[in-house]
């Protein structure tokens, strides 16, 4: 399997190269040269497998010959062995045709663990074989940071620096990052929003001398390995609901577009997913685009669902590339115009092709606060502010009579203030995080300035010199 950049000017790489590079050298995002496809018989054969075994088989075509299947299989088993639920990703029926796919049973209580627990093992395996060291830099709106840190803390060949927007994550999200005791972890609280943090990470990768000096790599969903590792749970859920004989739909609370892109990738591989429902909060750029072809950047407004407080959804570039017929030059031009003007010009036929299968949905904070107790009252299910928007979207936009998989992306205890406001009860943290509020925090405060951030990363890299 070879991978090419959405912007067409970077060299093609194999899976290992993409894993270590993260962002392509031309600023684009890596995509598989072709999508592997499973026949109905091959999909049916996956039904009886435990999740880790299914994940290994779904990932194998993307990994190719870079990693032996036995090694990949062993890494998948280790990655998911510690999850709190025996099914790893249980499906919970909420209504006749609505199912919550619980993706939060990993160590940091969010769906990012599903990919990053495995990606941590992949990094360690590849780096040990090469005798190399990398420095991961990533941006987080709340959950990626803690999941990435948990995945690579104390690994010998990796340093990790995570940028988060100062004061714009929940306290649980912040503390899950800043209380980790590991010599290879640096947390930076940036004076800005998530889009600023994401731009700083992309700028570090675009600074070729700095990128080479630091041997940078990425754990954000700009790294295709993250997307690949999210595909298996959509395959697993669809098979459990009757695929390949039965079509399903998915509803996903979406910020950076990676999670729902993984569902779309599952369809490219043969899983019969008929509709993709993009659930947003007040930061509704994706919903506006899907409703009216209005992909225009507005100010990021803080919300009860901070992981969706995003205006520039990086992974949308991957979908755009596909719907532009894989025209890399046109993709690069469209993204350059979007960056310069804050508005994406998508031709009407292309927009109509996208919206044939993708539907947008939005909920304000007040609507979210009303939705949490309604769901709890009617189904006995307590959902966090992100998941509940996806569940509401599934209820309102799911095709009649078709099972809808609503991605439950975070444990309600990650957002205790919002849950308490909504239902009057403060959900307790699981036992392994029970003392989180008493743990000592360590992080660096920094301005929204590339030179300042690069200095922090460089000083951390040279701390033992």
Q: Which residues are catalytic?
A: 112
- The C-alpha atoms of residue 68 and residue 88 are separated, in whole angstroms, by 24
Q: 283 is written with which tokens?
A: 């930061």
Tokens representing 120 are 């941590």
What span, in angstroms and rounded, lies between the C-alpha atoms of 236 and 48? 10
Encoding tokens for residue 347?
A: 């031709």
Determine the Cα–Cα distance for residues 105 and 371; give it in Å rounded to an integer.
23
Element (H, E) at 358: strand 358-362
46, 57 contact by CB (below 8 A): yes
Residue 15: beta bridge partners?
none
Q: For residue 16, give Cα distances in angstroms to 1, 2, 19, 93, 299.
A: 10, 10, 5, 38, 37
Which H or E run contains 274? strand 273-280
| Stretch (H or E) spanning 165 | strand 158-165
User: What φ, ψ does residue 404 adopt, rounded to 5°?
Assistant: -120, 125
Nearest to 408 by CA among 98, 142, 102, 83: 102
Sequence-ordered strand ranges (E) for 140-272 = 158-165, 185-190, 216-217, 248-253
- E strand or H helix at 216: strand 216-217
Interatomic CA distance for residues 137 and 159, integer angstroms? 9
Task: Tell me how far apart the alpha carbons of residues 252 and 256 are, in angstroms, rounded to a whole number.
Answer: 11
């Amino acid at each position: 399997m070879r991978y090419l950049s959405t912007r067409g000017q970077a060299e093609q790489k194999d899976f290992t190269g993409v894993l270590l590079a993260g962002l392509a050298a031309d600023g684009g995002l890596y995509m598989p040269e072709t999508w592997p496809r499973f026949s109905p018989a091959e999909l049916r054969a996956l039904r009886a497998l435990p999740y880790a075994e299914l994940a290994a088989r779904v990932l194998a075509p993307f990994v190719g010959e870079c990693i032996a299947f036995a090694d990949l299989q062993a890494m998948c088993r280790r990655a998911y062995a510690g999850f709190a639920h025996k099914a790893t990703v249980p499906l919970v029926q909420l209504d006749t045709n609505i199912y919550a796919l619980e993706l939060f049973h990993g160590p940091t209580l969010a769906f990012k663990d599903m990919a990053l627990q495995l990606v941590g093992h992949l990094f360690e395996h590849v780096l040990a074989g090469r005798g190399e060291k990398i420095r991961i830099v990533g941006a987080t709106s709340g959950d990626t940071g803690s999941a990435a840190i948990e995945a690579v803390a104390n690994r010998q060949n990796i340093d990790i620096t995570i940028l988060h927007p100062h004061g714009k994550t929940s306290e649980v999200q912040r503390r899950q990052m800043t209380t980790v005791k590991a010599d290879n972890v640096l947390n930076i609280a940036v004076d800005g929003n998530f889009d600023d943090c994401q731009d700083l990470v992309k700028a570090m990768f675009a600074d070729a001398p700095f990128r080479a000096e630091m041997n940078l790599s990425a754990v954000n969903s700009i790294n295709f390995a993250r997307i690949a590792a999210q595909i298996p749970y959509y395959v697993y859920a669809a098979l459990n609901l009757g695929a390949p004989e039965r079509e399903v739909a998915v509803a996903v609370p979406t910020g950076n577009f990676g999670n729902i892109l993984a569902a779309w990738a599952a369809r490219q591989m043969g899983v019969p997913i008929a509709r993709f429902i993009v659930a947003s909060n007040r930061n509704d750029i994706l919903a506006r685009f899907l409703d009216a072809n209005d992909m225009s950047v507005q100010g990021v407004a803080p919300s009860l669902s901070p992981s969706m407080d995003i205006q520039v959804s990086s992974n949308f570039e991957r979908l755009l590339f596909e719907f532009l017929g894989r025209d890399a030059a046109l993709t690069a031009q469209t993204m350059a115009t979007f960056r310069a003007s804050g508005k994406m010009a998508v031709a009407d036929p292309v927009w109509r092709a996208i919206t044939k299968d993708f539907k947008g949905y939005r909920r304000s904070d007040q609507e979210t606060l009303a939705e949490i107790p309604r769901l709890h009252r009617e189904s006995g299910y307590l959902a966090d502010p992100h998941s509940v928007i996806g569940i509401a979207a599934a209820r309102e936009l799911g095709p009649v009579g078709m099972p809808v998989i609503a991605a439950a992306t975070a444990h309600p205890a990650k957002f205790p203030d919002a849950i308490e406001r909504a239902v009057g009860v403060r959900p307790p943290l699981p036992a392994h995080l029970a003392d989180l509020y008493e743990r000592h925090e360590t992080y660096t405060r920094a301005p929204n300035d590339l030179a300042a951030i690069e200095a922090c990363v460089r000083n951390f890299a040279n701390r033992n010199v």
